[in-house]
Chain A
Amino acid sequence: MSERDELFDASALRVNELNARQMLRGAALEGLNAPAPLEGAELERHVEERVLTTTLEKAVAWARSNAFFPATFGLACCAIEMMSIVASRVDVARFGYEAFRASPRQADLLILSGRVSIKMAPIVRRIYDQMLEPKWAIAMGACCSSTGVFNNYALVPADHFMPVDVHVPGCPPRPEALMHGVLRLRKMVQDDPEMGWRERYGAQGTEEVLPPAPGGGRSGA
């Protein structure tokens, strides 16, 4: 048996695991068939195989990126494609994003699905402002990225009035394309948490709820 086979031998793994648990409890191994207790480098390797070390930031980013709560917010025809990512074919629930929230206070992802007219822009901006941090925005479709086929006096691109993290092109984008955009956002949140919109837009210090003042008590009330 090579070392690798030994490592992946299921029965050996189970015995080692039980031994390790007992050793951690400080109990002596008993019984006639008890294998020799793990010691030294062998014990160290056994623990390393089972323990993952990371930083808190990475763990938090990992948790956040796998649980976006998108806002239930449709603007135009792209919203039909957005709805279909929840359905069985693309099934956004595989990644943990299926909880569409009807209140911006409970959502942290705003999918701008459709055209934004200059009359609608203040409303969209208000919804974005009402969302709690950390929050992200996806501009879905040509209209809210570059005004698309409605490139005239009536529309305004989303970048002009709010920060956008991911642009998904298409008219409308297929559900797969939107899914790809959401997964790119997941990668961004996991790999570059410093790419948050406050950092990119230089908007630190404009939080709605400020952190507690150094002297204790609440500030910004």
Chain B
Amino acid sequence: MPDATGLELIAKELADTVPGDGSPVLGTVHFRGRGTLLVDPARIRPVLERLRGIGYSFMASVHGVDHYPEEPRLGVCYELIDMAQVDRLTVKVRVATDDPVVDSVTPDWPTANHQEREVYDMFGVVFRGHPDPRRILMPEDYVGHPQRRDFPLGGEPVIFTYNENEDIGGAR
């Protein structure tokens, strides 16, 4: 794990080398030995490319988070590993639900293909430039993104002998 100082050095490195206005790093968190960078969603691809250049060349995971009721709600996390230094780094972006668009990193990291599809399926984050932006787990005609926290839980009203005469949820 990069220590707190090392994390700030990585943030400085990114601010110096990634093109665009200002630093692409919106914040750093160092918690329990884990370093996390919060990054501008518009510049996720050059940031990850630069991190690959300094050794974080293995993408272990891409996953989504719903931070409801915080805003911006939706998060996408990229777990990077430096296999030579045995070091790992979490890169996070946050987008709002009314425009949940993040650049796809699949052209640079082929492993992200299915994982971005899963994040799209479950959270509705749209990955711009993804080669195959379909759902991966739910049926293709499914409506909604079930892992969002404001999605109804669904399921069946369960009837036992003690409540079989009640009208549970108006079903049946």
Contact = CB atoms under 8 A, between A and B. Distances in A.
Contacts of A155: 155
Contacts of B156: 146-147, 151, 157
B138 interface: yes
A201 interface: no
Contacts of A153: 146, 151-155
A152 B138 CA distance: 13
Q: Is the contact region of chain A dominated by helix, strand, or loop, or is it mixed? A: loop
B139 interface: yes
Nearest to A157: B156
Interface residues of B, number: 12
Contacts of B86: none
A7 interface: no
Contacts of A14: none
B168 to A, nearest CB: 12
B153 to A, nearest CB: 6
Q: Tell me the interface secondary structure of chain B in the complex.
A: loop
Nearest to B160: A146
B158 interface: yes
Contacts of A152: 146, 153-155
Interface residues of A, number: 10
Contacts of A154: 138, 146, 154
Interface in B123-172: 137-139, 142, 146, 151-156, 158
A118 B144 CA distance: 14
Contact of A118 (B139, B153, B158): B139
Contacts of B139: 118-119
Nearest to A120: B139
B138 A151 contact: no
Interface string A142-154: 0000110001111
Interface of B: 137-139, 142, 146, 151-156, 158
Interface of A: 118-119, 146-147, 151-155, 157
Closest 10 CB pairs of A and B: A151-B155, A153-B154, A153-B146, A119-B139, A152-B155, A147-B156, A146-B158, A152-B154, A146-B156, A157-B156
